[in-house]
Amino acid sequence: TMLLSHRSFLSKKIWPIIPTPDSKFQGLFTVYGGNFQEWLGHTNGGLWVTPALLYSEERPAPLEVLSELIPRPSLPS
Amino acid sequence: VHRESPETRVSASVLRLHLYHSSNEGAECTVLTYPPGDYVAEELCMEAATACSISPLYCSLFALYRQRDALWFSPNHMFQLDQSTSEDVFFRIRYYFPSWYSGGTSRAYRYGVTRGSESPVLDDFVMLYLFSQWRNDFINGLVKISDSHEAQEECLGLAVLDMTRTAKERHLSPLDVYHTTSYKSFLPKDMRAQIQNCNFLTRKRIRFRFKRFIQQFSQCRTTARDLKLKYLISMESLDKGFYTETFKVQELSHGPLVLLVAADTGVQWCQEKLKDSEQELQTLCDFPDITDISIKLASKEGAVESRVVTINKQDGKNLELEFLTLPEALSFVSLIDGYYRLTTDAHHYLCKEVAPPRLVEVVTSHCYGPISMEFAIHRLQKCGNKRGLYILRRSPKDFNKYFLTFPVEVCGAVEHKHCQITRSASGEFNLSGAKRNFSSLQELLSCYQKETVRSDTVVFQFSRCCPPKAKEKSCLLMCRSNKSSEVPPSPS
């Protein structure tokens, strides 16, 4: 047993557990076949799909202030 | 405000405004430069936003930040710069709503006119800006990230996303990027140092596993936008330091405290000496609980600089917090004030010492912020579309435009018209089509309210203003992710 624990100590020293990126992408290839968007949507309980607030473009209305106009006979008062 | 800004010679510029945005590919950052003069933070934010295609609706998420002393400026802060001074500030997203990307039940969103017409907290321009900002904070170690195995794997995952994104943007394969740029340059500098300290074999193993995964990941069908989105989602869960601000204060009954402020949790505190332990955070108050805030000089002798911030709450109680300096107190108060406007009342300020000048202008003229046309029409409908009624509002697209929206009757049916008011660089207001200029919106309105105007063939008057209601729900207000299980009330 001495020998065994010595070996596991050594292996930890030489062969420690290393961090890898794989674990952060679980299911991407196995479940979603590499479709990133689909995987992303499912792993986050659905993503917001509608685009940002779409403003209907307001067309500024033409405007005349009647008192600022030079009176013309054809104008309705 | 001096406006001959960005094109003036660099040698004469004393104010540099850094943007996490670039107009040409390759560059990471753009800098707007200004000659000596006086500049209001809010005006600088509007110029920065315009340069980054960020519309007025989203500009309220941003503020100016100085990295040197980690200080945020209130919107009314005046930078006074002469030849001998210089200042470097960053245009940054300060107000952040977790789960803004989510389509699930606990998500943050902007209120809509009706249920089902809610809109996202951010648009793509803001999202891309946030990506550049957070990436910068991550790589340069501005946010301390835990060195646990779990966090390290998350960091490597982020590096995979970022390397692939870089490849997409440069039309290369991820392996090409891997071979020309060390994968470690996509990691926080602390983690780079940790890997550097490992023995040769371990370093080689980490690099090998990374490379193998990059190879596999390059088979993915994806876009640079989705990679950036995932990057942000991962970062939000990695560390709340990306969107939580902390302040050191003295509280009368508790002694030294650390305050933590974030959108979902409001103002929380913990005792300074227990900061890094697992002590539970106590909630001090949430934004909607606040009625007003005041700042006064601390009465203690010796501490000339320190300021007491008093937060008055709806329950009649108040909180007294002592900050070491005035700039820190103003930074804190402008944070609370900004979140109050984004969560509770878009047309109100809690403390006049930090009130944004454009907001003060809007409030005194009974003008709405940059609400959408749909909201304006909806509100007029709620008021019965009466003749003479109008809404004054800021343009959702242009910082220097306003609209007068009003109902008119054309052939027996109600229509809505939108007359435009422009604000010149010198701060003069003009109603498009009219001849006179005015020094304020109020003066303009009080003049034309007495006049008869005509649009096409319709003759009418702007006689009665429909002002914003206190705490009115509109696209200017956010429903937070921890509150959104409640049914969104329809605005009335």
CATH code of B398's domain: 3.30.505.10
Which pLDDT score, from 0 to 100, does residue B490 have? 46
> Is there a contact between B350 and B293 (Cβ–Cβ < 8 Å)?
yes
Q: Are residues B249 and B351 in the same domain?
A: yes
Q: What is the CATH number of the domain that holds B274?
A: 2.30.29.30
Tally C-beta pairs within 8 A across A and B. 161
Q: Could you tell me which of B144, B194, B139 has the C-alpha nearest to residue B163? A: B139
Report the pLDDT averaged over residues B307-319: 95
Residues B351 and B425 in one domain: no
Query: Considering CB atoms only, which of B100, B405, B454 is closest to A64?
Result: B454
pLDDT tens digits for range B119-169: 999 999 999 999 999 999 999 999 999 999 999 999 999 999 999 999 999
Where are the alpha helices (H) located in B123-221, listed in sequence order? 124-139, 149-169, 174-180, 189-197, 200-217
- B163 and B89 housed in the same domain: no
In a shared domain, residues B407 and B421: yes
Residue whose entry in the numeric block shows the structure tokens 């946030």: B130
CA distance B8 to chain A (A): 34
pLDDT of residue B492: 42
Q: Which pLDDT value is given to residue B3?
A: 43
Is residue B34 a part of any domain in this protein? yes
pLDDT of A53 over the 90 cut: no
Residue B487, domain member (yes or no): no
Please name the residue of chain A whose CA is at the shortest distance from the CA of residue B229: A40
Q: How far apart are CA B266 and CA B93, in angstroms?
A: 17
Shared-domain flag, residues B379 and B308: no
* Domain assignment of residue B124, yes or no: no
Q: Would you call A44 an interface residue with chain B, using a CB distance cutoff of 8 Å?
A: yes
Same domain as B303, residue B275: yes
Q: Are residues B289 and B374 in the same domain?
A: no
B110, part of any domain = no
Any domain includes B182:
yes
Indicate if the pLDDT at residue A67 is higher than 60.
Answer: yes
Question: What is the percent of chain A with per-residue pLDDT over 90, rounded to a whole number?
Answer: 31
**What CATH number is given to the structural domain containing B70?**
3.10.20.90
Residues in Cβ contact with B55 at an 8 Å cutoff, skipping those fewer than 6 apart: B49, B123, B125, B370, B396, B397
- Phi/psi for B56 (5° steps) reads -55, -30
Q: Which domain holds residue B378?
A: 367-465
Q: Does a structural domain hold residue B297?
A: yes
Residues 348-407 of B with CB under 8 A from A: 372-374, 396-397, 403, 405
List pLDDT tens digits, range B162-214.
999 999 999 999 999 999 999 999 999 999 999 999 999 999 999 999 999 99
Q: In the 8-state DSSP scheme, what is residue A42?
A: H
> Chain A partners of B217 at a C-beta cutoff of 8 Å?
25
Share above pLDDT 90 across residues of chain B, in percent, rounded to a whole number: 78
How do residues A42-51 score in pLDDT, each as one tens digit?
887 778 765 5
Q: What is the pLDDT of residue B120?
A: 92
Report B:109-168 residues touching A (Cβ under 8 A).
109-110, 119-120, 122-124, 149, 152-157, 159-160
Residues B24-62 have pLDDT tens digits of 555 667 899 999 999 999 999 999 999 999 999 999 999
Residues B227 and B274 in one domain: no
pLDDT at B1 (0 to 100):
40
Do B248 and B220 have their domain in common?
A: no
CA-wise closest residue to B243 among B61, B375, B404: B61
Buried b (16+ CB within 10 A) or exposed e, B122-134: bbebbbbbbbbbb
Task: Report the alpha-carbon distance of residue B254 to residue B258 in Å, rounded.
Answer: 11
Q: Note whether B333 and B392 are same-domain residues.
A: no
Choose one of B320, B355, B390: the last residue of a domain: B355
Residue range B220-226: mean pLDDT, rounded: 93
Q: Is the CB of B447 inside 8 Å of chain A's CB atoms?
A: no
pLDDT at residue B235 tops 90: yes
Instruction: Give the count of domains, chain B.
Output: 4
Could you tell me if B259 and B267 are in contact, meaning their C-beta atoms sit under 8 angstroms apart? yes
B390 and B334 part of one domain: no
CB nearest to B453's CB, from A15, A56, A65: A65
Residues of A in contact with B115 (CB under 8 A): none
Q: Are residues B338 and B261 in the same domain?
A: yes
pLDDT band, very low/low/confident/very high, at A16 (cuts 50, 70, 90): confident
Q: How many CB atoms lie within 10 A of CB B76?
A: 20
Inside any domain, residue B175: yes
pLDDT for position B275? 59
How far off is chain B from A73, nearest CA to CA, in Å? 16
pLDDT value at B117 more than 80: yes
Name the residue in chain B with its Cα closest to that of A29: B220
pLDDT in tens, B429-466: 999 988 899 999 999 999 988 888 888 888 888 889 99
DSSP B218-252: TTSB--HHHHHHHHHHHHHHH-GGGT-EEEEEEET
The answer to whether residue A71 neighbours chain B at the CB level (below 8 Å) is: no
Q: Is the pLDDT of residue B344 over 70?
A: yes
Q: Is the pLDDT of residue B368 over 80?
A: yes
Q: Mean pLDDT over all residues of chain B?
A: 91
Question: Is B372 within 8 Å of A21 when comparing Cβ atoms?
Answer: no
- Last residue in a domain, options B206, B238, B270: B238
The pLDDT score that the predictor gives to residue A63 is 82
Residue B2 within a domain: no
Taking residue B422's Cβ as centre, other Cβ atoms within 10 Å add up to: 16
The answer to whether residues B168 and B223 touch, using CB atoms and an 8 Å cutoff, is yes
Residues 6 or more apart in contact with residue B312 via CB below 8 angstroms: B290, B291, B292, B293, B294, B318
Q: C-alpha angle B280/B283/B285, rounded to 5°?
A: 170
- Asked if B432 is an interface residue toward chain A (Cβ–Cβ < 8 A), one would say yes
State percent of chain B over pLDDT 70: 92
Which residues make Cβ contacts (< 8 Å) with residue B324, sequence separation at least 6? B248, B303, B305, B306
- Domain end among B190, B223, B238: B238
Chain B residue nearest residue A28, CA to CA: B220
Cα angle B331, B234, B48; round to 5: 40
Answer yes or no: is pLDDT of B16 > 70.
yes
- pLDDT higher than 90, residue B22: no
Structural tokens at position A6: 């010595």
pLDDT tens column, B237-284: 999 999 999 999 987 777 789 999 999 999 999 887 665 666 678 899
Residues 170 through 189 of chain B touching chain A, CB cutoff 8 Å: none
- Tell which residue, B407, B421, B397, B411, has the closest CA to residue B377: B407
